[in-house]
Structure 1
Amino acid sequence: MTPATSFRGKRVALFGLGGSGLSTAKSLVAGGADVLAWDDSEKSVEKAKAAGIATGDLRDADFSTFSSLVLSPGVPLTHPKPHWSVEKAHAAKIEIIGDIEVFSRERALLDPKAPLIAITGTNGKSTTTALIGHILRQAGLDAQIGGNIGVPITDLDPPGRGRVHVIECSSYQIDLAPGLKPTVGVLMNLSEDHLERHGTMENYAAIKERLVAKADTAVVGIDDDLSSAIADRIEQAGTRTVRISQRRPLTGGIYAEGSKLIRAQSGAGGEVADLAGIGSLRGAHNAQNAAAAMAACLALGLEPDVIARGLQTFPGLAHRMEQIGHAGKVLLVNDSKATNADSTQQALASFASDIFWILGGKAKSGGIVSLAPFFPRIAKAYLIGEASAEFAKTLGAVPHEFCETMDKAVLAATRDAAKSAAHEPVVLLSPACASFDQYPNFEVRGDDFRRLAQERIKAADTERVP
Structure 2
Amino acid sequence: MIPVRGFEGRKVAVFGLGRTGLTAARALVAGGAEVVLWDENEGGRSAAEFEGFKVADLSKADWSEFAALMLSPGVPLTHPKPHWTVEMAQAAGVEVLGDIELFARTVNAAPPHKRPKIALITGTNGKSTTTALLGHICASAGRDTRVGGNIGVGVLGLEDMHGGAVYVLEVSSYQLDLTSSLKPDAAVLLNISADHLDRHGGMDGYVAAKRRALLNQGKGDTAIIGVDDPWCQRICTEITAANRRTIWPISASRSMGRGVYAIQGVLYDATGDRVVEVADLMRARSLPGRHNWQNAAAAYAAARALGVSAEDAAAGLMSFPGLAHRMETVGTIGRVRFVNDSKATNADAARQALSSYPRVYWIAGGKPKSDGIAPLHDLFPRVAKAYLIGEAADQFAQELEGRAPYEQCGVIDAAVAAAFADAKASGEDAIVLLSPACASFDQFSDFEARGEAFRHAVEGLTRPALRGARA
The bucket for the TM-score relative to the shorter chain is: over 0.9
Using the TM superposition, give the Cα deviation of residue 43 of structure 1 relative to its aligned residue in structure 2, in angstroms.
Answer: 0.9
> What does residue 355 of structure 2 align with?
349
How many angstroms apart in 2 are the aligned matches of 1:465 and 1:335? 33
SS at match of 1:281: coil
Per-residue CA deviations over 1:404-456 (Å, capped at 9, x if unaligned) read: 0111011111121112232x311100000011111111111111111112233
After alignment, is 294-303 or 2-11 more displaced?
A: 2-11
Are 2:339 and 2:431, in contact at CA under 8 Å, matched by a contact in 1? yes
Using the TM superposition, give the Cα deviation of residue 265 of structure 1 relative to its aligned residue in structure 2, in angstroms.
Answer: 4.2
> What does residue 282 of structure 1 align with?
288
1:368 aligned to 2:373?
yes
After alignment, is 253-262 or 212-221 more displaced?
A: 212-221
> What does residue 51 of structure 1 align with?
51
Are 1:327 and 1:458, in contact at CA under 8 Å, matched by a contact in 2? no
1:65 maps to amino acid: E
**Gap change, CA 1:308 and 1:463, over 3 Å in 2:** farther
1:409 aligned to 2:415?
yes
How many angstroms apart in 1 are the aligned matches of 2:129 and 2:421? 30
> What does residue 210 of structure 2 align with?
208
How many angstroms apart in 1 are the aligned matches of 2:279 and 2:126? 19
**Gap change, CA 1:308 and 1:458, over 3 Å in 2:** farther
How many angstroms apart in 1 are the aligned matches of 2:271 and 2:43? 55
Using the TM superposition, give the Cα deviation of residue 229 of structure 1 relative to its aligned residue in structure 2, in angstroms.
Answer: 1.2
How many angstroms apart in 2 are the aligned matches of 1:310 and 1:265? 19
Using the TM superposition, give the Cα deviation of residue 266 of structure 1 relative to its aligned residue in structure 2, in angstroms.
Answer: 6.4
In the superposition, the TM-score normalised over structure 2's length comes to 0.96
Unpaired segments of 5 or more residues in structure 1? none
> What does residue 308 of structure 1 align with?
314
Are 1:111 and 1:159, in contact at CA under 8 Å, matched by a contact in 2? no
- Identity percentage over the alignment? 51
How many angstroms apart in 2 are the aligned matches of 1:61 and 1:303? 53
> What does residue 405 of structure 2 align with?
399
> What does residue 229 of structure 2 align with?
224
SS at match of 2:282: coil
Using the TM superposition, give the Cα deviation of residue 235 of structure 1 relative to its aligned residue in structure 2, in angstroms.
Answer: 2.3
Tell me which of 247, 250, 253 is aligned to 1:244.
Answer: 250
In the superposition, the TM-score normalised over structure 1's length comes to 0.97
Using the TM superposition, give the Cα deviation of residue 458 of structure 1 relative to its aligned residue in structure 2, in angstroms.
Answer: 5.3
Are 1:290 and 1:311, in contact at CA under 8 Å, matched by a contact in 2? yes
Tell me which of 155, 172, 175 is aligned to 1:173.
Answer: 175
Are 1:213 and 1:234, in contact at CA under 8 Å, matched by a contact in 2? no
Per-residue CA deviations over 1:201-251 (Å, capped at 9, x if unaligned) read: 111111111112323211000111111111122222212111000111110
Per-residue CA deviations over 1:137-162 (Å, capped at 9, x if unaligned) read: 11121210110011111100122222
Corresponding pairs, count? 464
**Gap change, CA 1:94 and 1:402, over 3 Å in 2:** same
SS at match of 1:280: coil
Per-residue CA deviations over 1:51-92 (Å, capped at 9, x if unaligned) read: 121110000001111010110001010001000000000100
How many angstroms apart in 2 are the aligned matches of 1:99 and 1:359? 34
1:262-273 alignment to 2 at 5 Å? 262-265=268-271, 268-273=274-279
Using the TM superposition, give the Cα deviation of residue 94 of structure 1 relative to its aligned residue in structure 2, in angstroms.
Answer: 1.2
Per-residue CA deviations over 1:175-224 (Å, capped at 9, x if unaligned) read: 11101111100000000011100002111111111112323211000111
Are 1:10 and 1:34, in contact at CA under 8 Å, matched by a contact in 2? yes
Tell me which of 303, 317, 335 is aligned to 1:297.
Answer: 303
1:23-422 alignment to 2 at 5 Å? 23-111=23-111, 113-215=115-217, 216-237=221-242, 238-265=244-271, 268-353=274-359, 355-397=360-402, 398-422=404-428
SS at match of 1:101: helix
Using the TM superposition, give the Cα deviation of residue 464 of structure 1 relative to its aligned residue in structure 2, in angstroms.
Answer: 8.5
How many angstroms apart in 2 are the aligned matches of 1:234 and 1:199? 24
Unpaired segments of 5 or more residues in structure 2? none
Using the TM superposition, give the Cα deviation of residue 460 of structure 1 relative to its aligned residue in structure 2, in angstroms.
Answer: 6.1
How many angstroms apart in 2 are the aligned matches of 1:213 and 1:93? 24
How many angstroms apart in 2 are the aligned matches of 1:323 and 1:140? 28
SS at match of 1:357: strand
- State the Cα RMSD in Å: 1.6
2:313 maps to amino acid: I
SS at match of 2:23: helix
Per-residue CA deviations over 1:3-32 (Å, capped at 9, x if unaligned) read: 113221111011100111111011111111
Are 2:134 and 2:303, in contact at CA under 8 Å, matched by a contact in 1? yes
How many angstroms apart in 1 are the aligned matches of 2:255 and 2:9? 54
SS at match of 1:359: strand
SS at match of 1:445: helix
Are 2:260 and 2:271, in contact at CA under 8 Å, matched by a contact in 1? no
How many angstroms apart in 2 are the aligned matches of 1:247 and 1:87? 45
How many angstroms apart in 2 are the aligned matches of 1:39 and 1:437? 22
SS at match of 1:73: coil
How many angstroms apart in 1 are the aligned matches of 2:25 and 2:266? 45
Per-residue CA deviations over 1:278-310 (Å, capped at 9, x if unaligned) read: 221000000000000010001111122211111
How many angstroms apart in 1 are the aligned matches of 2:195 and 2:35? 33
How many angstroms apart in 2 are the aligned matches of 1:265 and 1:156? 32
**Gap change, CA 1:172 and 1:399, over 3 Å in 2:** same
2:304 maps to amino acid: L
How many angstroms apart in 2 are the aligned matches of 1:247 and 1:464? 49
